[in-house]
């Protein structure tokens, strides 16, 4: 297969699975869309049971499209570029020169790993989407691509991209070639961190879905009388066993039942964490950061160091208990993590994520990514260096939260009571608004308490959050555009909000001194306009 890489070739037939998955993903691009489709289908089936036949037909159609897509997918690797042709009805042909490829990400499912195959996605600069994806190709091909791309990058524009690296190269010979699969490429490898089993268990325990699962279970149990049904015979037998002490037995059984459910949920969460993060390793190779993890589906994320725009370190309350942080290095055009998880949009630039790490490690990664420019810039939410934002933030947010809650309350009340008793509704809403002031003030105070910022001559770290804490830090020279905004109240108090737009999103520092905001903006502009280092 690899004998003559310049000719057109197909991927392995196992790619059909990939294409089927992709078709399903496009169909269910938005959850709402899927819901509507299923709802319509359910209604139709209720009307006419024969329509049930549509379901296997639909599945067959999806599989057939997968097969067709596989048959029409061809690619050719040439000396300096890769050509990809695909599409059944709408044909697209892609011509990707290796210089334009920023990263090669590799994912291996269980089947892939048994057969020595990989799914390669090629990240390109500029456009957000990973344009090229090669499903289920030979692992050797990924290596070939990698060497060719890195050769292109190495010979081409070594100068600016490797600036920070070049200095370290002279001193870095000591940590040459650490990893296991060394010798694959000729570049330096520096292991940065691996996750221990304890860390993975902590991730599982700190999963906030646990609370959600608990709530859902409780709801299910209540609505279906699920718990009662299961417990009824057990309670009866218990009653016969502990005649007279049935109250105690019942409470014991219920608590036991809940504990079992919780244990199962915990086990599932830890299992999911193990599946996803097993054997997590992060290392640096040349100018790229790479991470690999996964028990069944192994995923490798490769991000060019120069492409990283922002480092976000977050800590949920539970993780705070474990003294662990979550670090994300956002490359250009990366979607925020939540949107990525929810939408499941395929092929966006990968975020390099370390799910759990200690504070010293986080700072270590910060120095590696930002280099000497990041000196003095902290990424840790607990750091003492953060300056507070103005306390005028609290009343404004309090008012906003309470007004929104009052508005929602008014709408609900009007819907329930009707518009005849408008006066009563108005009074109720005003009372409701008054009652919602203290909790709103508490929330606002907590948010204000979380907010903070640190700046140096080269970068800024902005802390925020509500229950958890999160710090976004970036270098000034990576900023795309800046804005200083002032609301009427802010103007009266001499305050402003600073927005720094990066290629991966926006960082806002609210309610700081107006003069400060302007100076920060001017400093950012100065760094952007005078820096000759590449931002991408």
Partner 1 sequence: MGSPGIPDFTKAETHNPGPFANPEVRPGSLPRAATLDWQPLHPRYAKRLQAGALIRIGVLAAVVAAAHVTVLLAGFETLSRIAVWPLRILWALCALGGAWAVVKPLIVVPRCGYAVREKDILYRSGVLWRAVRVVPFSRVQHTRTDSGVLDRRFGLANLTVFPAGAGGHKIPGLGTDTAENLRAYVSERIEAEKLEAADTGS
Q: Decide: is 54 part of the binding site for partner 1 (CB under 8 A).
A: no
User: What length does the chain have?
Assistant: 536
**Could you say which of 29, 88, 116, 160 contacts partner 1 (CB under 8 A)?**
160
Q: 3-class DSSP state for residue 429?
A: helix
CB of 421 or CB of 519, closer to partner 1: 519
Q: Decide: is 486 part of the binding site for partner 1 (CB under 8 A).
A: yes
Beta-bridge partner residues of 133 = 121
Binding letters toward partner 1, positions 423-462, x by CB under 8 A: ------------------------------xxxxxx----
CB 30 within 8 A of CB 343: yes
CB of 156 or CB of 271, closer to partner 1: 156
Q: Which residue intervals of 322-466 are DSSP H helices? A: 337-343, 359-370, 393-417, 422-450
Q: For residues 317-346, which are near partner 1 according to CB under 8 A?
A: 332-333
Q: Is the dihedral of CA 267, 270, 276, 279 positive or negative?
A: negative
Q: 3-class DSSP state for residue 48?
A: coil
**Could you say which of 195, 440, 503, 507 contacts partner 1 (CB under 8 A)?**
503
Q: For residues 113-152, which are near partner 1 according to CB under 8 A?
A: 126
Q: How far is CA 127 from the centre of its chain?
A: 19
Q: Report the C-alpha gap between 166 and 16 in whole angstroms.
A: 44
**Could you say which of 386, 393, 448, 474 contacts partner 1 (CB under 8 A)?**
386
Produce one character per residue of 194-232: b if its CB has 16 or more CB atoms within 10 Å, e if not: ebeeebbbbbbbbbeebeebeeebeeebeeeeebeeebe
CB of 49 or CB of 488, closer to partner 1: 488
**Could you say which of 46, 47, 91, 532 contacts partner 1 (CB under 8 A)?**
532
Q: Report the C-alpha gap between 208 and 195 in whole angstroms.
A: 20
User: At its nearest, how many Å lie between partner 1 and the CB of residue 487?
Assistant: 5
- Of 23-31, 350-358, 398-406, 522-530, the segment contacting partner 1 by CB under 8 A is 522-530
Q: Decide: is 236 part of the binding site for partner 1 (CB under 8 A).
A: no
Q: Decide: is 24 part of the binding site for partner 1 (CB under 8 A).
A: no
Three-state SS across 127-176? CCECCEEEEEEEHHHHHHHHHHHHHHHHHCCHHHHCHHHHHHHHHHHHHC
Q: Report the C-alpha gap between 172 and 514 in whole angstroms.
A: 44
Look at strands 298-304 and 288-293 and give their pairing. antiparallel
**Could you say which of 95, 157, 225, 229 contacts partner 1 (CB under 8 A)?**
157
Q: Decide: is 513 part of the binding site for partner 1 (CB under 8 A).
A: yes
CB 75 within 8 A of CB 8: yes
Q: Decide: is 376 part of the binding site for partner 1 (CB under 8 A).
A: yes
CB of 108 or CB of 469, closer to partner 1: 469
Q: How far is CA 327 from the centre of its chain?
A: 10
Q: How far is CA 66 from the centre of its chain?
A: 28
Name the helix (H) or strand (E) containing 357: strand 352-357
Number of residues that bind partner 1 (CB under 8 A): 55
CB of 62 or CB of 483, closer to partner 1: 483
**Could you say which of 39, 58, 159, 317 contacts partner 1 (CB under 8 A)?**
159
Q: Decide: is 494 part of the binding site for partner 1 (CB under 8 A).
A: no
Q: Decide: is 525 part of the binding site for partner 1 (CB under 8 A).
A: yes
**Could you say which of 385, 410, 435, 446 contacts partner 1 (CB under 8 A)?**
385
**Could you say which of 142, 203, 379, 520 contacts partner 1 (CB under 8 A)?**
520
Q: How far is it between the farthest Cα atoms of the chain?
A: 85
For residue 499, the number of C-alpha atoms closer than 13 Å in the C-beta half-sphere is 9
Q: Decide: is 536 part of the binding site for partner 1 (CB under 8 A).
A: yes
User: At its nearest, how many Å lie between partner 1 and the CB of residue 276?
Assistant: 28
CB of 229 or CB of 522, closer to partner 1: 522
CB of 77 or CB of 512, closer to partner 1: 512
Binding letters toward partner 1, positions 56-95, x by CB under 8 A: ----------------------------------------
CB 235 within 8 A of CB 249: yes
CB 357 within 8 A of CB 325: yes
Task: List interacting residues with partner 1 (CB under 8 A).
Answer: 126, 157, 159-160, 332-333, 376, 384-387, 453-458, 479-488, 491, 501-506, 512-513, 516, 518-523, 525-536
């Amino acid at each position: 297969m690899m004998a003559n890489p310049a000719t057109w070739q197909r991927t392995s037939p196992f790619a059909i699975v990939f294409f089927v998955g992709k078709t399903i993903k496009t169909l269910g691009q938005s959850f709402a869309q899927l819901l509507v489709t299923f709802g319509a289908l359910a209604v139709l089936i209720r009307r006419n049971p024969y329509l049930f036949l549509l379901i296997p037909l639909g599945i067959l159609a999806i599989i057939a499209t997968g097969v067709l897509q596989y048959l029409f997918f061809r690619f050719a690797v040439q000396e300096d570029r890769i050509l990809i042709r695909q599409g059944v009805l709408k044909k697209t042909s892609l011509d990707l020169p290796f210089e334009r490829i920023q990263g090669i990400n590799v994912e291996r499912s269980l089947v892939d790993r048994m057969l020595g195959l990989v799914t390669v996605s090629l990240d390109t600069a500029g456009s957000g989407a990973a344009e090229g994806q090669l499903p289920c190709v030979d692992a050797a091909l990924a290596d070939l691509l990698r060497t060719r791309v890195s050769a292109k990058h190495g010979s081409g524009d070594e100068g600016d991209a490797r600036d920070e690296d070049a200095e370290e190269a002279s001193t870095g010979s000591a940590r040459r070639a650490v990893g296991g699969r060394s010798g694959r490429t000729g570049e330096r490898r520096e292991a940065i961190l691996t996750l221990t089993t304890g860390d993975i268990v902590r991730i599982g325990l700190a999963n906030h879905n646990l609370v959600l699962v608990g709530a859902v279970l409780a709801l299910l149990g209540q609505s279906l009388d699920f718990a009662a049904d299961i417990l009824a015979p057990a309670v009866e037998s218990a009653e016969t066993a502990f005649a007279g002490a049935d109250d105690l037995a019942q409470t014991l059984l219920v608590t036991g039942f809940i504990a079992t459910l919780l244990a199962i949920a915990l086990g599932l969460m830890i299992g999911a964490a193990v599946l996803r993060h097993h054997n997590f390793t992060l290392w640096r190779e040349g100018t790229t950061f790479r991470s690999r993890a996964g028990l069944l589906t192994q995923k490798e994320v490769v991000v060019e160091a120069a492409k990283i725009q922002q480092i976000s370190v977050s800590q949920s309350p539970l993780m705070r208990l474990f003294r662990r942080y979550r670090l994300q290095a956002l490359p250009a055009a990366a979607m925020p993590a939540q949107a990525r998880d929810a939408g499941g949009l395929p092929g966006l630039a990968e975020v390099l994520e370390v799910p759990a790490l200690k504070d010293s490690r986080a700072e270590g990664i910060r120095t590696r990514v930002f280099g000497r420019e990041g000196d003095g810039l902290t990424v840790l939410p607990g750091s003492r260096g953060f300056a507070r934002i103005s306390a005028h933030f609290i009343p404004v947010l309090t008012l906003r939260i309470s007004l929104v809650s009052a508005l929602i309350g008014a709408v609900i009340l009007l819907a329930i009571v009707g518009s005849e008793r408008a006066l009563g509704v108005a009074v109720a809403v005003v009372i409701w608004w008054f009652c919602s002031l203290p909790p709103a003030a508490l929330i606002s105070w907590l948010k204000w308490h979380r907010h903070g910022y640190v700046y140096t001559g080269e970068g800024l770290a902005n802390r925020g959050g509500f229950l958890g804490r999160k710090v976004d830090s970036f270098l000034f020279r990576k900023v795309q555009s800046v804005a200083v905004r002032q609301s009427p109240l802010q103007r009266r108090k001499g305050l402003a909000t600073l927005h720094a737009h990066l290629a991966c999103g926006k960082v806002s520092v609210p309610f700081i001194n107006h003069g400060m905001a302007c100076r920060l903006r001017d400093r950012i502009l100065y760094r952007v306009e005078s820096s000759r280092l590449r931002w991408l």
